[in-house]
Amino acid sequence: MKIERLELRLLKLPLVHFFETSFGRIDDKHFILVRADGEGATGYGECVAEQDPYYSSETNETAWHIITDFIAPRVLGATFSHPRELFPALKAIRGHHMAKAAVEMAAWDLYARQRGEPLSRVLGGARPNIVSGVSIGIQRSLDELVAKVERELAAGYRRIKIKIKPGWDLTAVEAVRAKFGDIPLMVDANAAYTLADADRLAELDRFNLMMIEQPLDYDDIADHAVLQRRLQTPICLDESIKTCGIARDAIAAAACRIINIKPGRVGGFSESIRLHDLCASHGIPVWHGGMLESGIGRAHNLHLSTLANFRLPGDIAASRRYYAEDLIDPAIDVQPDGTVLLPEHGPGIGVHIVEDRVARATLRHLEVRPS
C-alpha cells in the first residue's frame, strides 16, 4: 500500500453536556481528523489528543506539528506491504503516540478498504458486536449523578463507570450503590491521588467495585504496586500504560490486574494488538477505553474491541451521549441489551461520513503531498 496524500483537519464539535474529570471540564471536543488517500482508496484516523496536555503530554497543536513535520515525510509516497509496518517506520520519533496512531489507524482503514474487508477482520477480531459501558463525568450534585446513572442503566449499558477525585469519591459511590444496589460499577480517578490517600482508597473496598482505574500518577508503576497490595479492589491502569514494555513491567510488579487499551495512547493498532496479546498471555483482561471520540474514532474502537481478550465492557457508548449530530450517519447506537453492533456500511471502519458536517466543524485544514 502507498499513501499518496494526507489531509489534516482540526475540528470542533460541541458536547451535549460538559464532561468533567479530575483534571478538568470541557464543553467542546477539539480534535484532528486525518484522511489518507492512496491507490484510489481513502482511510480515516481520529487523533485522541485534546486541547490541553492534562490527560497526556500531547495536545492538538503538538500532534499537528509532529504529523506535518515528522510523520508525513516518513509515510507519504513510501510503500508498505502492511499497516503494521508504519509504527516501526516512525521509531526515530520518540513518543507522540497519539499523533502516530492517528496516521497509523488511517492506514489500517485504508488497507482494509483496499481489500474490501471490515477493519475488525484485518485486525484479527471475530465478534459481531461488543458489550458497552458508560463513563459518567463528575456532576454538579449527587442527585444529578444518580439521575444520569438511572438513564444509562435504562438504555441498557452493562457497566457504569463514574469519575472520581478527592471530595467526589466515597459519597458518589455510596449514592450510586444505595440507589441501584449491586450493578456492575467501577471508578476512574485519572491520577488524582497519591499513596498518602491509600487509607481513603481502601475504604472503596467495601463497595465491591469491578476496578479502580488509574488512582495514582500518570507515569507511575511502583506506587500502584504498593497500593494494589493494600486494596482488594483490582487496579486498572490507563494513563500509565504508554508502551508494551511499561505494561510488561506493570504486570511483573503486580501494579494492576486489568488494563485499559486506547490505541492513541500506545501509538496505534499494531501496538494495541501487541498489548492485547501480552495481557492475554498473562491472564490480564483488557477493555477498550474511550476519549470522547466522534463516530469515526468510535468505529475504530469498535473494530479493535472484537479481539478475544477484550473481556470487559468498553467505554464505547452511543454517539448521542456526546454529540447531538455526529459526523457519521447512521450514528453509533446501543442495543437494549447493552451491546453495540459493528458498523457495516462498507469495508474498513464501515461508517458513512457526512462530508458537510465535517466541513462545518472544521477550524483548520491542510493537505500534504510528497515533496
- The catalytic residue positions are 163, 262
Q: Is residue 326 within the footprint of ligand OSB (CB under 6 A)?
A: no
Q: How far apart are CA 69 and CA 71, in angstroms?
A: 6
CB of 64 to Mg ion, least distance (A): 24
Q: Is residue 238 within the footprint of Mg ion (CB under 5 A)?
A: yes
Binding site partner of 118, from ligand OSB, Mg ion, none, Cβ cut-off 5-8 A by kind: none
According to DSSP, the residues that pair with 34 across neighbouring strands are 8, 45
Phi, psi for residue 349 in degrees, rounded to 5: -70, -20
Q: Is residue 190 within the footprint of ligand OSB (CB under 6 A)?
A: yes
Of 98 and 292, which has the nearer Cβ to ligand OSB?
292
Q: Look at strands 160-163 and 129-131 and give their pairing.
A: unpaired
Across the chain, how many H-helices and E-strands are there? 14, 13
Binding site partner of 302, from Mg ion, ligand OSB, none, Cβ cut-off 5-8 A by kind: none
Alpha helices, H only, 161-262: 170-180, 198-202, 222-230, 244-252
- CA angle, 313 then 315 then 320, to 5°: 120
Of 55 and 269, which has the nearer Cβ to ligand OSB?
55
Q: Is residue 315 within the footprint of ligand OSB (CB under 6 A)?
A: yes
With contacts defined by CB under 6 A, how many residues of the chain interact with ligand OSB?
A: 11
Of 48 and 86, which has the nearer Cβ to ligand OSB?
48
Q: How far apart are CA 92 and CA 68, in angstroms?
A: 15
Contact in structure between 53 and 169 (CB atoms under 8 Å): no
Could you tell me how many residues make up the chain? 371
Q: Is residue 293 within the footprint of Mg ion (CB under 5 A)?
A: no
Binding site partner of 292, from ligand OSB, Mg ion, none, Cβ cut-off 5-8 A by kind: ligand OSB
188, 220, 271, 326: which one binds Mg ion (CB under 5 A): 188
Q: Is residue 290 within the footprint of ligand OSB (CB under 6 A)?
A: yes
**Restricting to residues 195-234, which ones interact with Mg ion according to CB under 5 A?**
213
58, 220, 238, 326: which one binds ligand OSB (CB under 6 A): 238
Q: Is residue 315 within the footprint of Mg ion (CB under 5 A)?
A: no
At residue 168, the 3 state secondary structure works out as strand
Binding site partner of 291, from ligand OSB, Mg ion, none, Cβ cut-off 5-8 A by kind: ligand OSB
Q: How far apart are CA 316 and CA 52, in angstroms?
A: 22
- Residue 30 has a CB neighbour count (10 Å cut-off) of 17
Phi, psi for residue 18 in degrees, rounded to 5: -60, 155
CB of 260 to Mg ion, least distance (A): 6
Looking at residue 328, what DSSP letter applies? B
End-to-end CA distance of the chain: 19
289, 313, 338, 350: which one binds ligand OSB (CB under 6 A): 289
41, 72, 259, 291: which one binds ligand OSB (CB under 6 A): 291
Q: Is residue 56 within the footprint of ligand OSB (CB under 6 A)?
A: no
Q: How far apart are CA 48 and CA 155, in angstroms?
A: 26
CB of 238 to Mg ion, least distance (A): 4
Which residue has cell 485504508? 110
Q: How far apart are CA 138 and CA 143, in angstroms?
A: 12
Binding site partner of 20, from ligand OSB, Mg ion, none, Cβ cut-off 5-8 A by kind: none
Burial status of residue 245 (CB atoms within 10 A of its CB: 0-12, 13-18, 19 or more): exposed
Alpha helices, H only, 124-163: 142-155
Pattern 16-55, ligand OSB, x by CB under 6 A? ---------------------------------------x
Binding site partner of 317, from Mg ion, ligand OSB, none, Cβ cut-off 5-8 A by kind: ligand OSB
CB of 183 to ligand OSB, least distance (A): 18
Which residue has cell 450503590? 177
Q: Is residue 135 within the footprint of ligand OSB (CB under 6 A)?
A: yes
Q: Is residue 271 within the footprint of Mg ion (CB under 5 A)?
A: no
Instruction: Give the interface with ligand OSB as residue ranges (CB under 6 A).
Output: 55, 135, 188, 190, 238, 289-292, 315, 317
Instruction: Give the interface with Mg ion as residue ranges (CB under 5 A).
Output: 188, 213, 238
